[in-house]
Amino acid sequence: MGDHDPQGMLDLVLRLPVFCRQAWTLGREVVVAARPSAIVVIGMGGSGIGGDLLRALFLDDVPVPVAVVKDYRLPAFVDRAALVFACSYSGNTEETLAAYDDASQRGATCVAVTSGGALRDRAAQRGQQTVLLPPGIPPRAALPYVFLPMVSALSHGGVVPPMDDAAHEAAEVVAAVLNAERPDAPSSRARALAGAFHGRIPVIYSATPFLEPAAQRWKDQLNENAKTFAVWNTFPELNHNETVGWGLDAALATHLAVVVLHDPHESDRLRRRVDITKDLAFGSAGSVDEVTAAGSGKLARLLSIIAIGDLVSVDLARRREVDPTPVPVIEELKKRLSESRR
d(C-alpha 312, C-alpha 318), whole Å: 10
Distance of CA 180 to CAs 90, 101, 246, Å?
32, 44, 33
What's the pLDDT at 1?
47
CATH class of 31-162: alpha beta
Note the Cα 159 to chain centre separation in Å. Answer: 22
Residues known to be catalytic: 224, 240, 334
Domain boundaries, the chain: 31-162, 184-320
Model pLDDT for residues 150-198, shown as the tens digit of each residue: 999 999 999 999 999 999 999 999 999 999 999 999 999 999 999 999 9
Adjacent-strand bridge partners of 9: none
Going by C-beta distance under 8 Å and a sequence separation of 6 or more, which residues neighbour residue 109? 32, 33, 36, 82, 83, 84
Q: Mark 91-115 as b/e (b = at least 16 C-beta within 10 Å).
A: bbbebbbebbbbbbeeebbbbbbbb
Q: What is the DSSP letter of 237?
A: G
Mean pLDDT along residues 86-105: 97
What's the pLDDT at 222?
98
**Within 13 Å of residue 208, how many CA atoms lie on the same side as its CB?**
21
Mean pLDDT of the residues in the chain: 96
DSSP-derived secondary structure for 80-91 = TT-EEEEEESSS
d(C-alpha 189, C-alpha 179), whole Å: 12
Please report which confidence band the pLDDT of residue 227 belongs to, taking 50, 70 and 90 as the band edges. Answer: very high
pLDDT at 342 over 90: no
What's the pLDDT at 337?
83
pLDDT at 33 over 90: no
CATH class of 184-320: alpha beta
d(C-alpha 222, C-alpha 201), whole Å: 10
Please report which confidence band the pLDDT of residue 339 belongs to, taking 50, 70 and 90 as the band edges. Answer: confident
In 3D, which of 111, 146, 117, 116 has the Cα closest to residue 129? 111
| Helix, strand, or coil (residue 129) | strand
**Sheet-wide strand order for 256-262:** 231-234, 201-206, 256-262, 287-292
Q: What is the DSSP letter of 240?
A: G
Please report which confidence band the pLDDT of residue 334 belongs to, taking 50, 70 and 90 as the band edges. Answer: confident
Q: Look at the alpha carbons of 102, 70, 27, 163 in this order and tell me if their dihedral is positive or negative.
A: positive
* Torsion, CA 8, CA 13, CA 15, CA 18, rounded to 10: 140
Phi, psi of 54 (to 5 degrees): -60, -45
What's the pLDDT at 341?
73
Q: What is the DSSP letter of 153?
A: H
pTM: 0.95
Mean pLDDT along residues 256-262: 98
d(C-alpha 249, C-alpha 192), whole Å: 26
Residues across the chain = 342
Region of poorest pLDDT, from 203-217, 302-316, 325-339? 325-339
Angle at 215 between CA 209 and CA 219, to 5 degrees: 150
CATH topology of 31-162 equal to that of 184-320?
Answer: yes
What's the pLDDT at 4?
87
Mean pLDDT along residues 63-85: 96
d(C-alpha 179, C-alpha 105), whole Å: 47
Phi, psi of 66 (to 5 degrees): -115, 115
Is residue 208 within 8 A of residue 270, CB to CB? The reply is: yes
Is residue 88 within 8 A of residue 96, CB to CB? The reply is: yes
